[in-house]
Amino acid sequence: MSNTKNRQSNIPQKDDQFLNKTFSEKISEIKATLGDSSDLTVREFRNDEQIKIAIMYFDTLADTQFIEETIVKECVDHLQGNEATVNDQNIRELFISHVKIFSIKEAIEKLLSGNSVIFVENIEAGFIAETEGGERRAVSEPANTEVVRGPHEAFNESLNTNIGLLRKRINNDKFRVEIITIGKETNTSVAIVYIDEIAKKELVTEIKQRLGDIEIDAVLESYYLQEFLEDDHGYTPFPTIFDSELPDQIAGGLLEGRIAILTEGTPIALLAPVTMNLFLSSNEDYYQRYDIATFLRILRIITFLISIALPAFYIILQTYHQEMIPTALLITFAGQREGVPFSVAVEVLLMELVFEILREAGLRLPKSIGSAVSIVGGLVLGQAAVEAGFVGAGTVIVVALTAISSFCTPSYSLAIAARLIRFVLIFLGAILGGFGFMLGLIFLFVHLNTLRSLGVPYLAPFSPFHKQDISDTLIRTQLKNKKFRPEEVVGKNKQKDSNK
């Protein structure tokens, strides 16, 4: 049975046993169920007529300042007015929220969401005050993505804030948000965001179904959902769900017909369905001249291919196909390798492993010293290895160029996939030479052609071929000429300017 619940469609279930309890018994039962937690605050108010009002909230989840300045103040003022009776009518006037709760389960769910639950003597049902707050990281610049031109806002860990960042960019009555909870133990809020009539209804339904089928104890980060959303096509290192911390990038995807998944507690949003072209594009491509953006886009594609194939290509040239190297360059390589005890394949493999170690060390160290350690370590180790005669200078250059090229890939998840494929091609090239290298590339292309993202081909619009979508893949089309949304993902509203 699925543990996913749509919060918008929940119908309150009355618990007569709970409703028949006295004012004090309801409070005691909730406190006992929650283990009498130290951060659970219960504030009671009464007047001379012994009319009691109790406010319950977690001070670690709720906006305590709002509670003090609004709810508590209203309660005190109301009771000091010596109201003889408290009934549904004046309690509705007293509190902002008119939502009632009828069961202990519902009360606890609201408390754990940061809301306050209010009980009044002689009134069976409780009331909810929306006081969600607590300590949250403010909206700041992206931590992992450098932005030269464009918005400098990034998602944070608050689901409501992230939805708001998207709403500010898409001021549209077709903007849809559906919130569900996933995780048997964590009850994490997850938002499905899309634009009606632009997103395909079948894709929206598919995502809802996949999220609804998830049975998991905890959702602590959006990747917990990503594995369940990906199509079942066996092992692949390539990401088939896009992730980003940039609201403008996710908003751009929504306007193309894609669907976003936002998760409470993480600044990383997911976007699906996707094609490989999306991972090689940058949101800044549309914030600068189309000719410059086209040059940079082509450069990224070239550097991505270099990051995958250059070390293996260097090995097969040096080991199996030396006749393809110009004579002068071959003599230079031979001079550099004089006295080196290892084969070219072993050299490349060792240097690649060293650079991976340095890269990982740079990520784990504090930011103030991480970059310095990785740069200095690479320079010192590379120079020392050449001078000691362990590797040739050409090998260090090839490995360094490969590492730098991998940094040009906009998507970190795709760059990691390229690193894994690189090692596979190195082994194939070292064992089988040019034949193994080409065989690896063919299998790689075939594998990419079998991948799907929510049923959408990964290599679209090249395979299958869609002529109108090709214009904005290898090159960046001028915005005035970009009139249609991607064929594979868009719903009914295919044309960007409906007046044309």
Number of domains the chain is built from: 3
Report whether 118 contacts 154 (CB < 8 A): no
The four Cα atoms 234, 240, 244, 250 give a dihedral, to 10 degrees, of: -150
More confident residue, 1 or 117: 117
Q: Would the pLDDT of 381 be above 90?
A: no
143 part of a folded domain: no
Does a structural domain hold residue 466? no
* Burial class, 72, CB count within 10 angstroms (exposed 0-12 / middle 13-18 / buried 19+): middle
Flag whether pLDDT at 38 surpasses 60: yes
Residue 200 lies in a domain: yes
Max mean pLDDT among 142-151, 373-382, 400-409 falls in: 400-409
pLDDT band at 102 (very low <50, low <70, confident <90, very high): confident
Report if residue 142 sits inside a domain.
Answer: no
**Least confident piece of the model among 192-206, 294-308, 463-477:** 463-477
pLDDT of residue 121: 80
Q: Is pLDDT above 80 for 206? A: yes
- Of the ranges 113-122, 231-240, 364-373, 421-430, the best mean pLDDT one: 421-430
User: Based on the domain organization, do 299 and 447 belong to the same domain?
Assistant: yes
**Are residues 253 and 352 part of one domain?**
no
In a domain, 110, yes or no: yes
Please tell me whether residues 262 and 411 are part of one structural domain.
no
Average pLDDT over residues 361-369: 71
| 442 shares a domain with 304 | yes
* pLDDT above 90 as % of the chain: 34
Residue 239 pLDDT greater than 90, yes or no: yes
Q: Quick one: 360 and 259 in the same domain?
A: no
Same domain for 293 and 382: yes
Provide the 3-class DSSP secondary structure of residue 143: coil
Give domain status of residue 468, yes or no. no
Structure tokens at 398: 């090839």
Q: What percent of the chain has pLDDT over 70?
A: 88
Task: Please check whether residue 391 is in contact with residue 350, taking contact to mean a CB–CB distance below 8 angstroms.
Answer: yes
Question: Cis link prior to 273 (omega < 30° from 0)?
Answer: yes
Average pLDDT over residues 140-167: 86
* β-bridge mates for residue 304, sequence order: none
Residue bearing tokens 């932005």 = 147
Mean pLDDT for 180-184 is: 91
pLDDT score at 175: 92
Q: Which domain holds residue 449?
A: 289-457
Average pLDDT of the segment spanning 312-323? 91
Does residue 314 carry a pLDDT above 50?
A: yes
Residues 197 and 252 in one domain: yes
- Is 18 domain-assigned? yes
Over residues 353-366, the mean pLDDT reads 80
Tell me the pLDDT of the chain averaged across its residues. Answer: 83
Whole-number Å distance between alpha carbons of 280 and 473:
9
Please give the C-alpha separations between residue 183 and each of 189, 248, 269, 435, 480, in angstroms, as whole numbers.
9, 29, 18, 49, 45
Q: What is the pLDDT of residue 198?
A: 92
The reply to whether 260 falls in a domain is yes
Q: If you average pLDDT over residues 130-134, what whole number do you get?
A: 79
Cβ within 8 Å of residue 333, ≥6 positions away = 318, 325, 392, 394
- pTM assigned to the model: 0.82
CB proximity list for 131: less than 8 A, separation 6 or greater: 57, 62, 63, 66, 67, 71, 114, 115, 116
| 253 vs 207: CA distance, rounded Å | 16
